[in-house]
Amino acid sequence: MRIRTPPGTVRWHRAVRSLARLHHRPAPARPSRPAQLRALVAVLDEAVAAQTPADAAVAACGEPGPVSRQTARACGRQSITLHRLRTRLQDLELTEPDLVRAQAHAARLLAYDLWMLRESLNLAFTVHREPRTEAARLRVNGLGRHADDLRRLRDGLRAEAG
């Protein structure tokens, strides 16, 4: 005698068994500390390299006289580059506490660089020129100390990586 099962029951049992197998799979091994450190340093190398053109774009916004459209485009390109690097940095799956702290610190420094790009553009291309705004614009001369901090952070991690 054959027992009839309701339609779809066999598929349901197969799906439950498949989910059970997925549930019991071991978690993937996390990358080793040296691998995490190399990944972090690689992104920081790119970020430090990207700071040179970003610094030049910010400084160009503070030059006396009218600011060119090329300067605006350069700021826009550098902003996109730094934003993508910051996203890549934040997407790194780091588990070592000191590397996680370094990652967060680097992300804050890149956020500052992005802020400097935006603010220098705002000062350079303001609609209503005022003496106070113009004086502030003329004091803009680059990314400043935060760029140096990012470079030092990268250099320290690179030395640790060997």
pLDDT in tens, 17-35: 776 676 666 656 788 999 9
Residue 11 lies in a domain: no
Residue 34 lies in a domain: yes
pTM value is 0.78
Residue 106 lies in a domain: yes
Residue 24 lies in a domain: no
Which of 36-50, 76-90, 112-126 is the least confident region?
Answer: 112-126
Q: Which two tokens stand for residue 28?
A: 């993937």
Per-residue model confidence as pLDDT tens digits over 85-125 = 999 999 999 999 999 999 999 999 999 999 999 999 989 88
Contact 54, 113 (CB under 8 A): yes
How far is the C-alpha of 13 from the C-alpha of 29, rounded, in Å?
30
Number of domains in the chain: 1
**Residue 94: CB atoms within 10 Å:** 20
Residue 5 lies in a domain: no
Range of the domain at 103: 30-161
Residue 3 lies in a domain: no
Residue 138 lies in a domain: yes
Residue 94 lies in a domain: yes
